[in-house]
Amino acid sequence: MSAWIMAAFMLTAAAGAVMVILYRNPVYSALSLVLTMFALSAIYVMMGAYFIAVAQALVYAGAIVVLFLFVIMLLNLRNQQALKESFGLRAAVGALLGALFIGVAGGTMWAVLSPDQFSKSAEVFKDEGHTESLARLLFKNNLVPFEAVSLILLAALIGVVVLIRFHGRPSSDNSEESNDA
Amino acid sequence: MTPELTYRLCLTLSAVLFAVGVAGVLIRRNAIVIFMCIELMLNAANLAFVTFSRHLGVLNGQAVVFFVMAVAAAEVAVGLAIIVTVFRTRASVNVDELKLLRR
């Protein structure tokens, strides 16, 4: 039973990913991306990675894709037809190469990873306190990377504000510099 | 479904997701959709990390996934800000029309 559910989620994730690149309207692409993210989140739940599953749903479906949709609608791209792409010969060749690449990568993963490589994976997670042990790993063993991530987020925050605030107005930049001087 | 089959299927799905992301970056010319495809590739790597973390019975892979998510969030914020900035200048997000970073 659970095997079929997991297979269904896998198919959903793959189909959503393909739809992301097939839809011409970027809003539909973003919604397909939500589908993929939620399917991956469900797969994480079924693999016992509960914290990662919740973080996936919150961060990707809740924040990142909403940011995508927000930007798409903020730019109001549909009115200008700026995003209507024509899928011509070049895209057909690209799709062919892409399908070939998908087949090669998937087939390699499937063929190379023979089951006996996984046969010694008898041990499974101790289910009690899974998130707790992950937190211990994050805050004890990986404390420095964790703090570095906070710095990265801060840098991204400042960078975005600088990009949006000071872009395209050289006169205002000059005036501010002159003010500083 | 045996665990071994689950791992194989998850890794295959991971490879497929990554390949779809690469194909999207190659095919599409809309900068926003290209960004979504980059997210797909990051998610494929995350799925591989979680699968191997589960398979090996250690949690380090999930810690890496946490960091990847944080960096992906920062990357999306900065990238979309750049796209908005480019759109203000060029009134287009078609990457074929963007040959210069300056006006």
Q: Which CATH number do you get for residue B14?
A: 1.10.287.3510
Q: At A87, is the pLDDT very low, low, confident or very high (cuts 50, 70, 90)? A: low
Domain range for A159 is 142-181
- Which pLDDT belongs to residue A95? 76
Residue A29, domain member (yes or no): no
Residue A180, domain member (yes or no): yes
Residue A149, domain member (yes or no): yes
Residue A15, domain member (yes or no): no
Give tens-digit pLDDT for A114-144. Answer: 655 554 444 445 554 578 888 888 888 889 9
The enclosing H or E element of A170 equals: helix A170-180
Torsion-angle region of B94 (φ positive above 0: left; ψ -120 to 50: alpha; else: beta): beta
Work out the percent of chain A whose per-residue pLDDT is above 70.
74
* Burial (CB count within 10 angstroms: exposed 0-12, middle 13-18, buried 19+), residue B58: middle
Q: At A169, is the pLDDT very low, low, confident or very high (cuts 50, 70, 90)? A: low
Contacts of B68 (CB under 8 A, 6+ apart): B42, B45, B46, B49
Residues of B in contact with A77 (CB under 8 A): 93
Residue B103, domain member (yes or no): no
Residue B26, domain member (yes or no): yes
Residue of chain B nearest A114, judged by CA positions: B8
**Complex prediction ipTM:** 0.91
Distance from CA of B101 to the nearest CA of A (A): 12
A134/B59 touch (CB, cutoff 8 Å), yes or no: yes
Lowest mean pLDDT among A59-68, A82-91, B51-60, B83-92: A82-91
Secondary structure class of A142 (helix, strand, coil)? coil
d(CA B75, CA B70): 9
Residue A160, domain member (yes or no): yes
Residues of B in contact with A71 (CB under 8 A): 32, 80, 83-84
Residue A158, domain member (yes or no): yes
R_g (Cα) of chain B, nearest Å: 17
Residue B13, domain member (yes or no): yes
Between B57 and A54, the more confident residue is A54
Work out the percent of chain B whose per-residue pLDDT is above 70.
96
Residues of B in contact with A133 (CB under 8 A): 59
Query: Which tokens in the block code for residue B95?
Result: 């990457």
Residue A156, domain member (yes or no): yes
Residue B46, domain member (yes or no): yes
Count how many domains chain A has.
Answer: 1
Domain range for B33 is 3-97
Residue B37, domain member (yes or no): yes
R_g (Cα) of chain A, nearest Å: 22
For A47, A59, B38, B58, the CA distances from A43, given in Å and listed in that order, are: 6, 16, 20, 18
Contact A40, A56 (CB under 8 A): yes
Work out the percent of chain A whose per-residue pLDDT is above 90.
34
Count how many domains chain B has.
Answer: 1
Q: Is A133 on the interface with B (CB under 8 A)?
A: yes
Q: Is the pLDDT of residue B55 over 60?
A: yes
Residue B102, domain member (yes or no): no
Q: Is the pLDDT of residue B51 over 60?
A: yes
A133/B59 touch (CB, cutoff 8 Å), yes or no: yes
- Which pLDDT belongs to residue A122? 41
Query: Which tokens in the block code for residue B66?
Result: 């946490």
Residues of A in contact with B28 (CB under 8 A): 21, 85
Contact B35, B76 (CB under 8 A): yes
Mean of pLDDT over chain A: 78
- Which pLDDT belongs to residue B70? 92
Q: Is the pLDDT of residue B37 over 60?
A: yes
